[in-house]
Amino acid sequence: MLIEYNELLIRNAKSSDAQILCKWWNDGKVMSHAGFPKGLGTTCEEIEKDLETDSDETRRRLIIEYRDEPIGEMSYKNQGAKTVEIGIKICDFTKLEKGLGTIVLRLFIRSLFEDYNFQKIILDTNLDNKRAQHVYEKIGFRRVKINYDSWKNQFGELQSSVNYELKKEDFRLSSTSM
C-alpha cells in the first residue's frame, strides 16, 4: 500500500522499520491501550523476521509518516469473506489531537474498499479509549458488541473492549473528503 495525501504518507512497513516499531511496541505508554502497559518485550530481529511474512493477500503492517517522519503504524489482516480487520496507532504523542489519525484512517479505509475490494472492515478497541471510539463512529463504524471484563492487561486488571464494523455501503461519502 502506498497512499500520499498532502504531508501524510501511508506505506508498507519494511525491515528497516523494525527499529522504530520495536521502540513503539516496547513502550508501555504507547501500548497500554492494547493491554500492554509494560510494552511487548519484543526485539528488532523478531519484528524484522515477522515483517518478511507480510503480503497484500494475508496481512500487512504499515507506517504512517507526517512530514517525512514516522508518527504511527497501522495494520490489516484479511479475515476471509471480503472482511478485513484493522488497527491504527499514532505513536508520536505530539501528533495527537491534530486530526491526523482521522485523515489517515479515512484514506486507509477508502483504499481497503476501493483498491483491495473488501466489503467489511472490523476492529476493536478498549472500552476506555473514548478518543478512538469518537473517531470510528464519526467515520461511520457501527458498534457491534461490548465485551465486558473479557481480558486482562499485563497487570492482571480486567479490561473491556468494544467491537466495531463498517460495511462498504455504509462508508459515509462525507468521510471521504479531507
Say what the pTM is: 0.93
- pLDDT, tens only, 51-72: 999 999 999 999 999 999 999 9
- pLDDT, tens only, 116-165: 999 999 999 999 999 899 999 999 999 999 999 999 999 999 999 999 99
Write down the pLDDT at residue 35: 83
User: Which of the four pLDDT bands, split at 50, 70 and 90, describes residue 176?
Assistant: very low
Taking alpha carbons only, the member of 64, 90, 89, 71 closest to residue 9 is 64
Phi, psi (degrees; rounded to nearest 5) at 57: -85, -25
What would the grid cell of residue 7 be?
A: 504531508
Q: How far is the C-alpha of 38 from the C-alpha of 26, rounded, in Å?
A: 7
* Amino acid (one-letter) located at 118: F
CA-CA-CA-CA torsion sign (125, 28, 11, 100):
positive
CA atoms lying within 13 Å on the CB side of residue 98: 11
Write down the pLDDT at residue 33: 83
Average pLDDT over every residue of 78-82: 98
Q: How remote is the C-alpha of 100 from its chain's centroid?
A: 13
Helices (H) and strands (E) in the chain, counts: 5, 8
Q: How far is the C-alpha of 147 from the C-alpha of 134, rounded, in Å?
A: 18
Write down the pLDDT at residue 174: 44
CATH of the domain at 119: 3.40.630.30
User: How many domains does the chain fold into?
Assistant: 1
Q: Indicate the DSSP class of residue 171.
A: S
* Average pLDDT over all residues of the chain: 94
CA atoms lying within 13 Å on the CB side of residue 166: 27
Q: How remote is the C-alpha of 118 from its chain's centroid?
A: 16
User: Which of the four pLDDT bands, split at 50, 70 and 90, describes residue 172?
Assistant: low
Range of the domain at 46: 2-176
Neighbours of 128 (CB within 10 A): 14
Q: Indicate the DSSP class of residue 117.
A: -
